[in-house]
Amino acid sequence: MINMKLWKSSLTYLTLLLVIAPIVQAHTQQLAPTYGAIVVRGDIYADWTLAMSLSMKERVPVLTLFKEVNEEEVIGVLTSLSTARRSVLIVGDFMAVPRDFEIVLKSMRIDVDRVGGATRADTSLQMIIRGFWTESKELILVDGQRRELYIPALSLSSTTLAPIVYSVDGRLPENFYKVIEKYMTKLEKIYVLDNSLSKEGISKLTNMGYVVEELNVTVIEAPKKRIAEQIFLWLRERFLGIVFGFLIGLVVSYPMISRKRSIASDLLMDFLTRDERVLVEIIRQNKEIRQEDLPELTGFSRPKVSRMVNELVSRGILEKEVSGRTYVLRVRNLFKGGR
């Protein structure tokens, strides 16, 4: 005969399991949601940087929205979302990505979630509150008002798979400490880019037990260069055949390197405005060009060219060098492409 006591215990356990399992699953999904795509304004680079950081971690495509320019195109792309991942994360408030756009997506039976605070610092903190980075052991602090730091921060995030949090004038966003203690329980190390945090803030983080590493964006890649030099010295100290093998391998891999540059170049063009694309493409085709020649080549006025050049230089896309009474402009190596 069946042991009734054992049967009741098993039935009780099974009932609890059936009740608790969905709750646990729902909680897990809430902490680590999965999206079919991320939508962000392509000309708001603070939001775009946060979206790209999450995109690289979760391997979710990012679609960039330009106000009143490509909304229909983005909506058309989103119609291809599969039933299993028919959900979209919008990064940015209603001023960035309008409510009407969200309503259209919901009418298409696409689940929509949005992350967007009153400031860029609030938005960066909300990305952590939503549970996207609960397993991360590292975090990147960067001044959200310094656009020239967006690409270095994103580059560091791509290698560490760490979230980016914006500071303002050396101060952390409100509730920062409560948020990381609650939602990043495994956090061990914090990178601070180019004096993005005050000495008092760094001292407080250190006293809380975190390892704080201050980085200058001009030397972020220096360790890689030192490693390359060490490898070269090691090869030179060995026999000549290895050096020849290395050179042959370099020649063979050149097409792949060129292809990566081409991909980076094409990706960059997707995030430029129409006028910026015209200007960058002209400079890239000429390799380098005097700024005073651009008004004639682009058809833009001198003040407009000057504003665009300063903007692209601040975002790390163009290099500007004084030459007499004008400037010589070049596209940075990463974006030159294999053209």
Is 151 part of a structural domain of the chain?
yes
Q: How many CA atoms lie within 13 A of 11 on its CB side?
A: 7
Q: Where residue 235 sits, what CATH number does that domain have?
A: 1.10.10.10
Residues 261 and 324 in one domain: yes
Whether 5 is in a domain gets the answer no
Whether residue 88 is found in the same domain as residue 142? no
Q: What pLDDT is recorded for position 269?
A: 57
pLDDT 10s digits, 141-163: 999 999 999 999 999 999 999 99
To the nearest whole percent, how much of the chain has pLDDT over 90?
A: 40
| C-alpha dist (Å) from residue 150 to 47, 48, 59, 105, 204 | 10, 9, 20, 29, 25
Per the structure, how many domains does the chain have?
A: 3
Domain extent at residue 290: 225-335
Most confident of 97-111, 197-211, 265-279: 197-211
Residue 166 has pLDDT above 60, yes or no: yes
- Does the pLDDT at position 6 exceed 50? no
| 132 closest CA partner among 124, 142, 120 | 124
My answer on whether 247 and 300 are in the same domain is yes
Name 277's Cβ contacts closer than 8 Å, sequence gap at least 6: 269
Q: What predicted TM-score, i.e. pTM, was given to this entire model?
A: 0.57
- What is the pLDDT at residue 192? 96
Side chain identity, residue 216: N
Q: Is the pLDDT of residue 21 over 50?
A: no
Give Cβ neighbours of residue 116 (< 8 Å, ≥ 6 apart).
Answer: 47, 90, 91, 92, 93, 94, 96, 97, 123, 126
Q: How far apart are CA 229 and CA 235, in angstroms?
A: 10
Tokens of 218: 């001009």
Check: CB of residue 120 under 8 Å from CB of residue 172.
no
Q: Is residue 275 part of a domain?
A: yes
pLDDT by residue (tens digit) across 106-129?
A: 988 899 999 998 899 999 999 999
CA distances from 48 to 164, 299, 301 (A): 12, 29, 29
- pLDDT reading at 318 higher than 90: no
Say if 181 falls within a structural domain.
yes
Domain containing residue 188: CATH number = 3.40.50
Model pLDDT, residue 137: 95
Q: Which of 86, 116, 146 is the C-terminal boundary of a domain?
A: 116
Per-residue pLDDT reduced to its tens digit, 49-93: 999 999 999 889 999 998 767 888 888 889 888 777 789 999 999
Indicate if 251 and 301 belong to the same structural domain: yes
Give the residue among 38, 39, 97 at the shortest CA–CA distance from 68. Answer: 97
For the stretch 238-293, pLDDT in tens is: 544 444 544 544 544 444 444 444 444 555 555 677 888 888 889 888 888 899 99
Residue 256 and residue 201 share a domain: no
Domain match, 97 and 151 both: no
Domain end point (choices 81, 98, 116): 116
Cβ(205)–Cβ(232) below 8 Å? no
Q: Does one domain contain both 156 and 125?
A: yes
Residue 39 is assigned to a structural domain of this protein: yes
- CA pair distance 159, 153, nearest whole angstrom: 10
Question: What is the pLDDT at residue 311?
Answer: 84
Is 324 found in the same domain as 239? yes
pLDDT for res 252: 42
Task: Fill in the amino acid letter for 51.
Answer: A
Query: What's residue 143's pLDDT?
Result: 95
Task: Out of 220, 255, 283, pick the residue that ends a domain.
Answer: 220
